[in-house]
């Protein structure tokens, strides 16, 4: 019995990582046709994940270009998906998270009256400019979605507060945990890209890329890193630097050529996930790492003033420290000098699931498609 066709749309590396387990489970269901569409909002970093998880897209919009902005991405996704959706006529379009690809793909599906399933739904900061543009991308996608795959009960409550019907919300856990469990290995051997890092020292893994942190906020963060590496002889800063020149130029200017500071090219996901596992503390403005690192027992200091993942703060795995130099320095220093405080964060229970989120999502999709073709379940 043919249940229907599901189109999975994503455009960035984090989306690909989190959608890979779902695609894997969908492909196991013979009665569901699965089509994968990538917009390549981020090209090189996306391709690394596609290769790692053996994902071969059916369509590739190849949108990334120099100095792209939100207007070009949005219109490129909308116009690029129009013909594909008209040709494929999917029964469900599956999107993930909070990227511009996510919102534009949901809007394109809405224009053709195709139901949307939103993976990692319901995260909110209630500040539409923080994170920007992700908070509004996610919220607007939520208004367009028919099925909401919330990672936690907190996300479910956010959706209920926005008058989303309870029967449209499913708490599944976060698929990033599924991907992480398939990727991190105790016997993993790092390649040449990490040559020169002394893993006998305490590794502070750093990532920064958020638009709201560009400029003085970023400089404050980097000043705090300089203080830390100067104070602690057994600390090494490992910083895979985002490709965006707004980030890269400042990082090289302030952190380049410093002893025990390693500015790297963006790492492939497998190497990066295992680097998280080898690190002592994570300092990041990323969203996904707030979910991943606690699964590995690593304290996370979030370099933002708001987070759409309050569950991690409540659980004690994550601390919101902002971008002020003193606050970043003080929070990291405390974990470096106080083992009790470190263990309290490292041993807290991760609220984001058990690695079976994709299984739950695909079960809901199957039930949804059964109902659409009129089969009683």
Residues with catalytic roles: 98, 120, 134, 209, 211, 242
Between the alpha carbon of residue 94 and those of residues 52, 85, 117, 291, the distances in Å are 21, 12, 5, 21
The helix/strand/coil state of 347 is coil
Q: How would you label 183-205 residue by residue, b for 16+ Cβ within 10 Å and e otherwise?
A: bbeeeeeeeebbeebeeeebbbb
Distance CA 122, CA 155 (A): 4
Q: Which residue has the tokens 């057994």?
A: 234
Distance CA 347, CA 367 (A): 37
* Tokens describing residue 310: 């309050």
Distance CA 377, CA 372 (A): 11
Between the alpha carbon of residue 337 and those of residues 136, 221, 235, 279, the distances in Å are 39, 20, 12, 16
């Amino acid at each position: 019995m043919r249940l229907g066709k599901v189109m999975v749309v994503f455009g960035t590396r984090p989306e690909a990582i989190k959608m890979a387990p779902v695609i894997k489970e969908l492909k196991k269901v013979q009665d569901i046709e699965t089509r994968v569409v990538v917009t390549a909002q981020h090209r090189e970093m996306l391709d690394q994940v596609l290769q790692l998880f053996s994902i071969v897209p059916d369509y590739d919009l190849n949108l990334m270009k120099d100095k792209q902005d939100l207007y070009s991405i949005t219109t490129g996704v909308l116009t690029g998906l129009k013909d594909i959706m008209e040709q494929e006529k999917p029964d469900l379009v599956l999107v993930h998270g909070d990227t511009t690809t996510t919102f534009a793909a949901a809007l394109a599906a809405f224009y053709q009256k195709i139901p949307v399933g939103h993976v990692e739904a319901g995260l909110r900061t209630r500040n539409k400019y923080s994170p920007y543009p992700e908070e509004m991308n996610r919220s607007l996608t939520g208004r367009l979605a028919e099925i909401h795959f919330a990672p936690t009960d907190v996300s479910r409550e956010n959706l209920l507060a926005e008058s989303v019907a309870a029967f449209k919300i499913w708490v599944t856990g976060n698929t990033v945990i599924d991907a992480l469990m398939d990727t991190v290995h105790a016997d993993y051997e790092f390649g040449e890209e990490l040559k020169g890092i002394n893993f006998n020292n305490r590794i502070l893994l750093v990532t920064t890329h958020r638009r709201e942190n560009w400029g003085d906020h970023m400089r404050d963060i980097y000043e705090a890193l300089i203080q830390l590496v100067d104070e602690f002889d057994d600390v090494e800063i490992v910083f895979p630097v985002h490709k965006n020149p707004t980030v890269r130029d400042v990082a090289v200017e302030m952190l380049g050529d410093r002893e025990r500071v390693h500015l790297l090219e963006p790492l492939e996901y497998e190497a990066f996930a295992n680097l998280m596992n080898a690190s002592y503390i994570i300092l990041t403005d990323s969203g996904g790492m707030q979910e991943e690192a606690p699964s590995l027992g690593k304290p996370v200091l979030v370099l933002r003033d708001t987070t759409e993942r309050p569950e991690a703060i409540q659980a004690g795995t994550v601390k919101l420290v902002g971008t002020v130099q003193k606050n970043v320095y003080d929070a990291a220093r405390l974990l470096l000098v106080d083992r009790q405080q470190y263990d309290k964060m490292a041993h807290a229970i991760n609220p984001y699931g058990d690695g079976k989120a994709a299984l739950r999502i695909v079960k809901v999709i199957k039930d949804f498609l059964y109902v659409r073709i009129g089969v009683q379940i």
